[in-house]
Amino acid sequence: MGEVRSIKLFFQEGSSDKVYNAQIVEDGGAFTVSVQWGRRGATLAEGAKAVKVTRAVADKEFDRCVREKTKKGYEELKAGHKPAAVAPPVGEGSASKSGVNRRARVGLAAQLLEPLDDHEFDAFLRDETMIAQQKLDGIRVVVTIGEELVPTNRDGQVTKLASRDALSGLQYLPHGTVVDGEIMGDEYWLFDVLMLAGDDVRDRGYLERWELLEHHLEPALTDEVRVLPCAIGKTAKTKLHKRLQGAMAEGIVFKHRDAPYKAGRNTTQRKHKYVKSADVVILENAGNAYQMAVYDGKQLFEVGRVFAGTTTATRKQLDALLGDGERPVCEVKYLYATDDDQLFQPVFVRIRDDKTAKQCVRSQLKKTDKSVVS
């Protein structure tokens, strides 16, 4: 066994100070692309992008990895070009030099949801300070109303993903108003307001801001724009939770009634997804993730790739099983299956030696209804 090719990369900017290393290792005439990544100075995670392949395939996968990382701003560590002792500020580091950060922010950055763990859920249902809403799965858009409607994404950058038909319902709102919501098809569902006719209302509590939407802005909206309902109190929240589960919705959101609007993630707004579970067959290490499949009759049907949830230890175990010609059965969690039965946001849970591949069938996959539940 011997290393025939390697590279070390680093990325520094703002709070990011990361490394990514890759090697091609020969073993008995077969080649494996091994990688390590993580924060500089910390213990690195390990994985493989290709296992026991030809040299040509290994070189192709190695080059792809390097190309992918350099496009994101990673730089090669070599003589005369090394990481700084401290990562430079945003605008002066790896991402900015590569052009990754050149899009200017023109709008207000959005407040984002923090995940809610299963063991916390019941407490949030009981907590009278928390308000509940349906978790949507649309396009997040913050819109500034002026002579023109300016849609921006969660980072405050102008977005072209917003449907103009959906946004047209905002045209009668007062100039200087900024609203936050998600586009679902040709409808725009509002769940927050940041500015009202030029007045900054972000320091007000969430319930007060929602009431501004419901009572002050909603009458000026057209049918394409709706205000997302709230459930207040344990009984109403529990009823909403049961309706959402029964409708196969994506999940539920909890928001603190008195919390101000703050850009980025914080614990005053939490999300709980109704995740599902499936057993799948792992076909191969497909480079950047593991290819999953299930049986559709007698044929294997591919349902996407999974990497999230794996660890250095489980990846080594999976690669060893695949290298021995086996197709391990694994349990994965996922948010929903798409219309063509691809698992959305799959997360590896464990290898299962108590199930056979034939028990991993397509009929176990479940879809989600993305429509807003009334």
| 49-96 pLDDT, tens digit each | 888 889 999 999 999 999 999 988 999 999 889 999 888 887 778 877
pLDDT recorded at residue 374 = 65
Q: What is the share, in percent, of the chain residues with pLDDT greater than 70?
A: 97
State the span(s) of the chain assigned CATH 2.40.50.140.
276-364
Pick the most confident of 166-170, 188-192, 243-247. Answer: 188-192
State the span(s) of the chain assigned CATH 3.30.470.30.
111-273
What band does 104 get if pLDDT is binned at 50, 70 and 90? low
Q: Does domain 2-98 have CATH number 2.20.140.10?
A: yes
Beta pairing, strands 187-196 & 225-227: parallel
pLDDT tens column, 210-260: 999 999 898 888 888 999 999 999 999 999 999 999 888 999 999 999 999
Helical H runs in the chain?
55-71, 94-98, 121-126, 164-167, 206-211, 234-246, 312-323
pLDDT recorded at residue 101 = 61
Whole-angstrom distance, CA of residue 182 vs CA of residue 135: 10
**CATH level 3 topology of 111-273:** D-amino Acid Aminotransferase; Chain A, domain 1 (3.30.470)
pLDDT tens column, 331-356: 999 999 999 999 999 999 999 988 89
Tell which CATH architecture fits domain 276-364. Beta Barrel (2.40)
Q: Which helix (H) or strand (E) is 285 found in, with range?
A: strand 276-285
End-to-end Cα, the chain, rounded Å: 62
pLDDT recorded at residue 186 = 84
Beta pairing, strands 111-115 & 264-273: parallel
pLDDT for 133 beyond 90: yes
pLDDT recorded at residue 15 = 80
State the span(s) of the chain assigned CATH 2.20.140.10.
2-98
pLDDT recorded at residue 164 = 73
Structure tokens at 330: 């694994």
Whole-angstrom distance, CA of residue 122 vs CA of residue 128: 12
